[in-house]
Structure 1
Amino acid sequence: DTADGFFSSRPRERILEIMRDSRVGPMGVIVIVCVLLFKLTLLTAVPPAARWWVLLMTPFAGRCALLINMAVIPYARPEGGLGTIFYSSRFRLQLAWAFVLLTVIGWLAAGPTGVFVGLTAFAFSIIFAFYVKYKIGGSTGDTLGAACELTELIPAMVYLVSVSGGLMKI
């Protein structure tokens, strides 16, 4: 839904309308297929010796992206929606925990490379959150899901770029 809305080139209100529609449009299908293929390609390109920690960091980074997005931008719909049940006033503290846990888990899993992966996932999540705020004024359940899925690409991508000599070897 996020892809359908964001790639529609419409104003904020129309984007939110498109995202509220439960049907998947063509852009949504294209993005889902591309993200899944990209995940598969990245994970198969990671050497087996490093794959375990990349697989550990992948869902962890994605779930931390949810906390980060909820901490830095407000909910987009004034009338509320399904995503509002996950919002609370304590997300600033959870933002700090997400940062600490991403770096600590990264360090324990892979040393300095793992920390770099965690920090990159954290930075990407913040950048994506502010893009969402710019585009529709805040977050929704759909954009939280998109943040999670896109941030899950970061660990394998950063590993391949920083350690294995880049994405061109894929």
Structure 2
Amino acid sequence: MHGPVLPGWLLVALCAATGSYCLLRLRSGSPPARTAAGGEAVMGFGMAAMAVPAAFLSPPPWMLTGYAVIFGGTALRALWLARGGAHHLHHAVGSLAMVYMALAMTPGAGGGAHEGHAAGGVPLLTGALLLYFAGYVLSTGVRLLPTAGGGGPVAAVSWSARPELALACRLSMGIAMLAMLVTV
């Protein structure tokens, strides 16, 4: 990822922490919840890898192509799983956005952002993805707000199975996606 080094490392830390928590969520919950957690873990760690500042490590073109292939595969899997729930459609959009960013960073594909050239994204597609993820961040953030009259007793739940932490992870990955898309 091109841009300032400190925000890049903060983005790496945020995405890696989110991916790690999603791995912990794999141990609890129903099978559909574990499937979603697995997809979010892959996305978190993939975003962390792609967010490493170019000043520290300029990935070779084959690595960017590898990201595109991996996230293309996760997009296909998410589309297949979307038959059972709408959240998998979001995973597909996120995975396709990662494919788009990997291809935009690839030298010779109009990008070459890691070689000191301008970013190579398609402005209309970048804008559409920015709008989508801005809406996702806002809707997820609203779901984290406390509801009126919700002061009743709370059942003891393992910290790896807390729904508000899962929402917070989704919110942080949505914000990270916005930050990465802004640099395209």
- Please indicate the TM-score interval, normalised by the length of the shorter structure: 0.3 to 0.5
Work out which structure has the larger RCO, using CA pairs closer than 8 Å and 6 or more positions apart in sequence.
1
Q: Which has more helix, going by share of residues?
A: 1
TM-score, scaled relative to structure 1: 0.37
